[in-house]
């Protein structure tokens, strides 16, 4: 069977297998003529496959491509404003190294037990960060995105909320923001806790359960958000090895039936690596049995990020058969996909209507 026929077969199987969309709250897809239209599509850091991540251009691209949620990673500034960067070390995502006035701030910090050298958001005020410009984090993989280097500022969480609401009005559908608290134990240890500022933004904007879903790899961070009684869905992210920093539990233990039942006591979703959902793993069925929805991460189109069977060449940065990978996971019954290429995920989802 050739690639086109195999993809068609996967999509037809998916259309039969997917029987319900994710229920409200949190930006559920509407039904078309009473028929489900498939899992949620979450723009990972916006549309990181097509624009430098965590920029207004990346988030806007994601929504215009059909994404249901957009994901900002949260880290604090020195003056305790939440900004959106994948990491607090920003030499790979901004032009900070080209600013001689900040050369003396290059340092080494221990973040979650690992020594990291570079420039850190917690050493800059918001006004100082606003003098920097975003750049492509993976220039050797996504050279096409480097044309956009230097065009955008670092955004605050508040600015992402404002943008999501503006895009919701523009497109006539609700766009959910999906913030992740990054390294929350570390930031608490240096007096810049993430959760109080996140809670303040949510309350100030009166974000509803259909406008915001909070995620973290650290259960303690989600518990702190839950204690604020915001009424927001919570998403427990899961790694593939080790365990959440500062917690006496491994991800392997969290993904057992007993561990999933414990997660269901405080969260609505789990977010495992997509590889954890491939048979013979039973995580998807076990999570659904525990009453949890499942959103898999991170879907990318380049060969180097795809399982071997979906690669189309030996060139790591060329695109492989991403449609087939989406179709496989859609057919398994995943509730959401977190993707660098929301346009491709949406196109694959459209195949459910075949």
What are the boundaries of each domain within the chain?
3-86+153-353
To the nearest 10°, report the CA torsion of 291, 297, 300, 306.
-90
Cβ pair 238, 273 in contact under 8 A: yes
Q: Is the pLDDT of residue 298 over 80?
A: yes
Q: Which residues of 182-219 are buried (b: 16+ CB within 10 A; e: fewer)?
A: bbbbbbbeeebbbbebbbebbeebebebebbbbbbbbb
Tell which wins on pLDDT, 197 or 11.
Answer: 197
Which 8-state DSSP code applies to residue 153?
P
What's CA 199's distance to the chain center, in Å? 19
Q: What CATH class has 3-86+153-353?
A: alpha beta
To the nearest 10°, report the CA torsion of 210, 69, 46, 154.
10
Q: Is the pLDDT of residue 5 over 90?
A: no
Q: What is the pLDDT of residues 220-273, one digit of tens each?
A: 999 999 999 999 999 999 999 999 999 999 999 999 999 999 999 999 999 999
Cα–Cα distance measured from residue 48 to residue 57, given in angstroms and rounded to the nearest whole number: 10
State what percent of residues in the chain have pLDDT above 90: 88
Q: What is the pLDDT of residues 51-96, one digit of tens each?
A: 999 999 999 999 999 999 999 999 999 999 999 999 999 999 999 9
Cβ pair 271, 234 in contact under 8 A: no
Q: Is the pLDDT of residue 281 over 90?
A: yes
Q: Which of 147, 151, 57, 132 minimizes the C-alpha distance to 90?
A: 132
pTM assigned to the model: 0.91
List, in sequence order, every residue forming a beta bridge with 115; answer none if it has no partner.
110
Cα–Cα distance measured from residue 89 to residue 191, given in angstroms and rounded to the nearest whole number: 17
Residue with tokens 């057919």: 331
Lookup: tokens for 231: 């009424």
Q: Is the pLDDT of residue 2 over 80?
A: no
State what percent of residues in the chain have pLDDT above 70: 89
């Amino acid at each position: 069977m050739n690639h086109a026929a195999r993809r068609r077969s996967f999509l037809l199987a998916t259309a039969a297998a997917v029987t319900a969309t994710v229920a409200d709250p949190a930006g559920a897809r509407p039904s078309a003529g009473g028929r489900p239209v498939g899992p949620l599509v979450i723009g990972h850091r916006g549309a990181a496959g097509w624009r430098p991540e965590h920029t207004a251009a990346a988030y806007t691209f994601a929504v215009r491509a059909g994404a249901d949620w957009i994901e900002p990673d949260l880290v604090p500034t020195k003056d305790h404003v939440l900004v959106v960067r994948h990491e607090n070390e920003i030499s790979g995502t901004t032009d900070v190294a080209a600013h001689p006035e900040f050369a003396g701030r290059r340092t080494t910090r221990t973040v979650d037990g690992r020594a990291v050298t570079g420039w850190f958001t917690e050493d800059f005020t918001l006004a100082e960060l606003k003098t920097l410009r975003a750049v492509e984090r993976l220039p050797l993989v996504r050279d096409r995105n480097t044309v956009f280097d230097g065009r955008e500022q670092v955004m605050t969480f508040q600015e992402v909320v404002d943008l999501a609401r503006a895009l919701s009005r523009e497109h006539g559908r609700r766009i959910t923001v999906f913030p992740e608290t990054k390294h929350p134990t570390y930031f608490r240890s240096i007096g810049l806790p993430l959760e109080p500022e996140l809670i303040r933004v949510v309350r100030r904007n009166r974000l509803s359960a259909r406008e915001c879903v909070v995620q973290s790899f650290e259960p303690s961070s989600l518990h702190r958000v839950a204690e604020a009684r915001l009424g927001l869905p919570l998403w427990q992210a899961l790694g593939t090895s080790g365990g959440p920093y500062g917690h006496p539990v491994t991800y392997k233990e969290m993904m057992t039936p007993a561990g999933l039942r414990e997660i269901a006591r405080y969260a609505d979703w789990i977010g495992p690596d997509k590889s954890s959902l491939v048979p013979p793993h039973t995580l998807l069925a076990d999570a659904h049995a525990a009453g949890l929805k499942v959103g898999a991460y991170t879907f990318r189109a380049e060969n180097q990020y795809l399982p071997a069977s979906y690669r189309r060449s030996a060139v790591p940065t060329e695109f492989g058969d991403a449609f087939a990978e989406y179709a496989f996971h859609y057919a398994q019954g995943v509730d959401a996909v977190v993707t660098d290429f929301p346009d491709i995920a949406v196109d694959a989802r459209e195949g459910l209507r075949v």
